[in-house]
Amino acid sequence: MKKFIIISIILLALDQFTKYIFTGKEYLVGSFGIYYAENTGAAFGILSQMNIFLILVGFLVLFLIFYFYNDVKCKLPFILIFAGTLGNVIDRLLFGYVRDFILISIWPIFNVADMCNTIGVLILLYCFWREDKTYKQKSHKK
């Protein structure tokens, strides 16, 4: 649990610091760079203007991660998703929107918390795939 807290605090601090530094900024090189935006929705702008609902979902995610953390083998994705969710929930509570600033032309504008969530989900999917593959190999040997 100590590792969970330390890594979460570091990622949360990085997220909030970068959001603070790049608020209102624009540094573009072609279609890449820093372009500040305020997102009142979730990923890809879905559920726009549903801040209360998104805060409640965020708190549910935080609770579930904290509750199940000790029971899982693959802990890193839970840490990443926890830190990313908390970073965006803090924004929603303080500002009523999430501060995004990283622009890559083929993708919607995002932030460090979004990167934590995305990487965490990808690692979690890999862990599920690996666990399923191991389970299937063990069940075929019987």
Range of the domain at 71: 2-137
Phi, psi angle pair for 17, to nearest 5°: -65, -45
Active-site pick, 15, 71, 114, 132? 114
- Tell me which residue of 80, 90, 84 sits closest to 51, measured CA to CA: 90
pTM of the model: 0.88
Residues above pLDDT 90, as percent of the chain: 73
**Chain segment 4-13, per-residue pLDDT in tens:** 999 999 999 9
Please say if 91 is a catalytic residue: no
In this prediction, residues 86-94 reach a mean pLDDT of 98
Active-site pick, 15, 71, 100, 132? 100
pLDDT value at 96 more than 70? yes
**Chain segment 35-80, per-residue pLDDT in tens:** 999 999 998 778 998 999 999 999 999 999 989 998 888 899 999 9
How many domains are contained in the chain?
1
Domain-located, residue 62: yes
> Which long-range contacts does 121-128 make (Cβ < 8 Å, 24+ apart)?
121/77, 121/81, 122/77, 123/74, 123/76, 123/77, 123/80, 124/74, 124/77, 124/78, 124/81, 127/73, 127/74, 127/77
Domain-located, residue 102: yes
Residues 30 and 53: their CA atoms lie apart, in Å, by 36
Q: How many CB atoms lie within 10 A of CB 50?
A: 14
CB 89 within 8 A of CB 59: yes
- Tell me which residue of 98, 127, 120, 117 sits closest to 22, measured CA to CA: 98
Domain-located, residue 111: yes
At residue 134, the pLDDT reads 67
In this prediction, residues 78-85 reach a mean pLDDT of 97
Domain-located, residue 142: no
Please say if 100 is a catalytic residue: yes
Q: Which residue has the higher pLDDT, 45 or 142?
A: 45
